[in-house]
Structure 1
Amino acid sequence: MQSVPASLLRTAGFAGLFLVMEIGSRVAMAPHCCVHVVWPAAGIAVAWFVAQRGARVRWADPVALVVVIVAVNLAVGSGAAVAAVCAVVGLVQVGVFRWLLSLGYRGRDGGAPRLRDLWILLPVAAGAAAAGAVAGVAGLWLATGAPPGPTGAIWFFCDAGNMLLFAACALHLQAVAAAHRARYGSVAAGWSRAVRAVTGARAAEYTSVTLCALAGYGFVMTAPGVSMVFPLIALTVWAAVRLSTTYVMAYNLGVAVVTAVCTLHGYGPFAHLGSPDRAVLIGQVYIATVTIVGLALALGRDERAALTAELADEKEQASRQAQLMNAIVNSAADGVAVHDRDGRLTMHNPAVESLLGRIRSPEVTDACTFYGLRHLDGSPAADDDLPWRRVSADGRRHSVDLIVRNSNLPHDRIVRYTATPMIDPNGALNSSVVLLRDITAETRHRDELTSFAGVVAHDLLNPLTTVEGWTETVEDALAEVPEHPNLAAARAGLARVERAAARMRGLVNDLLAYTTARDAAVTLATVDLHALVTDVADARIDTAMAADTPTPTFTVGDLDPVDADPVLLRQLLDNLVSNAVKYTAAGVTPHISVTTSSRDDTVAITIADNGIGIPAGHHDAIFDTFHRAHRGQSYAGTGLGLAICKRTVERHGGTITATDNPGGGTRFTFTLPAATRTAPAHDLPRDRRPARSLSAGMVLASSN
């Protein structure tokens, strides 16, 4: 914001310019008292107050305006009453103009007018001129005691045209100056750069328009008997279409000055159209026409040029973005392909051909045979197994691991296909994006590690059994030894051996379970989930009662049947329930609830507990092998239980997540395929099951 001295200096500068114009117009119009206080003073006043919208000293501008108007009117002998009326008219005009301008005009980039803003400035200028004309006519009537005749109409047309021209000039020059300061550091530097940027051909065009205008208006305004001035508007059109807006405004200003001065002094075609009032009125209509035509064409051209430049810039940015994306996609080690709804390959990066050995043409529809795709068990893959086919069918993301075997590859390759639906702006699924990743080394490494873990675990069972057997034998032998000072130490050492052996057996069993969960064949059957959960809960209740620990309570909802491997599913449920019981704070009775929800062909099973919960940041990591969220606390474990759960769920095509239970504890949710038959394959329907007594701590809750 400008300082107070700078604001006062600008006020003084505008007041001086207004004073010069006011004196000049009064001298020029001395013989025509009926048209006093008109052009160009009203336009200068509006431009003054528009430019000073952000002035620090707001009272200085209206005070200076009133002082100049009163002083000039008194100097030319208009009288105190007329001077007061003119001062009021000046304040009304600038006040109404600024008020109307604030309602509708927003500008662009610091106030530069657009073509749309011209049609806003036009009614603003008309409204301010009308208010000034009404106030002026009424004031003069009261001051002189007689109606002022046609002065009101002249006042309106003169002031409206001039306020439009000068206000547009002020707004435009403000915007240009702000742009030059922002870009080049100063207005002078900006103008210098703009002048140097003008080419020789464009400079010649500026010169041609100026000379033609001087010659045309000079001839029309001085030659006797010439009344055709409107063809000169063609020069305005030429300037507005070809030259800068700043020049067009200067050109319009020059035309306005020449037309007004010549008309007032009896020269030109308008001076011979009747009375001086009529001549001035028609001349001002011509000035307004030239102003509107020139501004409309120039601002419209600027707006089109700005839009064209913006579109070109956006096109260039889009082109660079596309090139960058192409470079990224083409340099990626993973393959990226796009398939349409019919399964045709429409786009791919070089990595796709490198991974698959060959690229099929759009005419080849059997991708499985063309690429030699097989499941990990060696069976041929079917077309319906391909993830992009599944995406086209249900619109959801799908992933599958397949073996690629064809003559273009030196060896079999395991590729993970992940297909994601591509939705168009109308919400329709037209294509799918498929990401291909070579997981051959990863899979082999995991297979070798898992096989090694299974072999090691199996081989450790024999020596572990020997350790446990001899420990039991030694314990029996110590029971028959008479009391001795070293007997307690021997029994304590033996107890430590037993605990170590138990931990070792737990680790070996978990390793074997993990290997089973990964490698065992999955035999799907329709499982009565309610019966299976009840059986697992009964076993946990019996274990707690036998160990004299807090007996857990269970809330089991009306569970939906699922398609799953009964053995693996029981192991999954037992692991999750075991975790829920184990990770419960001391002195707290474990409470576990089991519920399900169905969506399409999937059942989500939720197991919630009131345990100690999972530390922040571990909700995903707990499913990694050997990860323990409560390491160092008094909760034993190997860190494989949840990894086994995750592997079991994934082998059924589902997902498993862990979240905080709103009531405290943890909530595990995993998904399994919904049962394809309404009744379990290995159980009677619920309404045909025999009645059974409830185990201690069991609560059966219906979700209906």
Structure 2
Amino acid sequence: MLLSGLLVVALVRTGNLALLKAQQRLHIGEVRVQDLFQHHPKPMWAFDEETLRFIAVNHAAVAHYGYTEAEFLGMLATDMRPPEDVPQMMRLLSETLTPHHDAGIVRHRKKNGELCHVHVSLHRMRIRHRDSVLVIADDVTDEVRTRDALKRQELQFRQLHDSLQEALWIGKDDVREMLYASPAFLTICGHSARSLLQDRTLWLSLVHPEDRPIAEESLLNLVAFGSAQCEYRICRPDGSVRWVADRKRRIVDASDGSRLVGGIIEDITDVRAAAQALRDANEQLEERVQARTAALQFANDELDAFARTAAHDLKTPLNAIIGFIGLLRARYAPALGPEGDRMSALVESSARGMNHLINDLLALSQVATHQLQPVSVDLSAIARDVVAELRQSEPGRQAEVRIEDGLHAQADPGLARSLLMNLIGNAWKYSGKRACAEIEVGRVESPDGTEFFVRDNGAGFDTRQADKLFKPFQRLHEASEFSGTGVGLATCQRIVRRHGGHIRLSSQPDVGTTVFFSLSGRARTRPADEPPRDSGFARLA
């Protein structure tokens, strides 16, 4: 300060007051420049052009890059760049630069190692009597990342378009000019995307003459309704004809309301050929099924005719045998003696058993050919009639029978009676060894709908063998224990199936059996691979 004061006095005494004022103005300007440099919002620094060492750095650079001012002044300008970018920087500095040079976007490295993208401008000037470079850095990392992301998305979008077998296109809203066409057009129609963009009439000219009205109408629908789709043929330059599916719609930009149209062209020639082959195969299969059905129906008719004829021819001699054996035993009993009477009784019993078997087989065969006449049937009334007939056949039999009132079903009356005669007859037969038999006829609600049941407290059986009971002539008890032909449950199953229902069994040995059945087409048939709902049930039909 003393030196400055003496200098001022000297200057005043020597008459150099004007020089003093000029120096004051220069100092004020430097202070202002220094203040602008330090408080500028963008990072700024200056480095010696020869040594590359930092000369000055502003507050924004300190805040942005993380180095202190002292650390900056101990660094070289190259320390700001990743090592792989330094050669590029040196080449730039070695060139003859203009006083103000836009270096573009480069990468800088912060103190924490993070890389950022900055837009750099270089300004050559003399600072402190040295050739220096003033650097102004504008961080554009976010913009660069956004731009790179858009480029990646555009590349991925184009790669996707190029890899798709479907051809994509975009055009003006009036459908008079195509703006974009994907490379797949070359594969589908034999013409490049460039050709379609250059000639707006090319696509319609490729459409098969017979199908051109379809394509033209589809374009009109697009303009009128905003979307359209159709199928037609196109003719390729090699003379081949291909089927294509044409789907298109209007595209509206929500930001500015601008409108374009876009669509997808897909080659469906192979798809249509496969569909036609499937239709042809189905038609052939249908013809074979019809032929097989007719042959099967003819065989069944022949079998039924044979069964009726055989039954008639067999029943006549059987009835004669039964009649003559009865006369033999009545008239010549003394001559036969005990052994002869026993043997003749066996013959008569066997003949009657054969007669019953023929009757049961006839009933079984007639179930399939019987013309159904479903009406509302009172199953309760039929069950009471069946029980009354059974009591009449065995007057001394002790049995408690409970029949629920109001059991109705849509069924053929004759087949419904045959069904209940077999089921209640079985319950009556297999509970015959009980001191007091219990038989119940009722209904329950199940997941399959309404089911009717016939329950008894008879001999029962192991349900693991239940499948056998629905096959003709299969029995789980010896004929010496319980009489029968083994055809009754097979007949019941056919009757239930004819009515669109199902039948299942629940049984335990020495406890009893319950037969559940439905006569409604609404009842669900369990798929073959569905496990039984209960290990104690056997579900059939």
Taking structure 1 as the reference length, the TM-score comes to 0.38
Higher helix share: 1
Higher relative contact order (CA 8 A, sep 6+): 1
Which has the higher Rg, Structure 1 or Structure 2? 2
TM-score (norm 2): 0.47
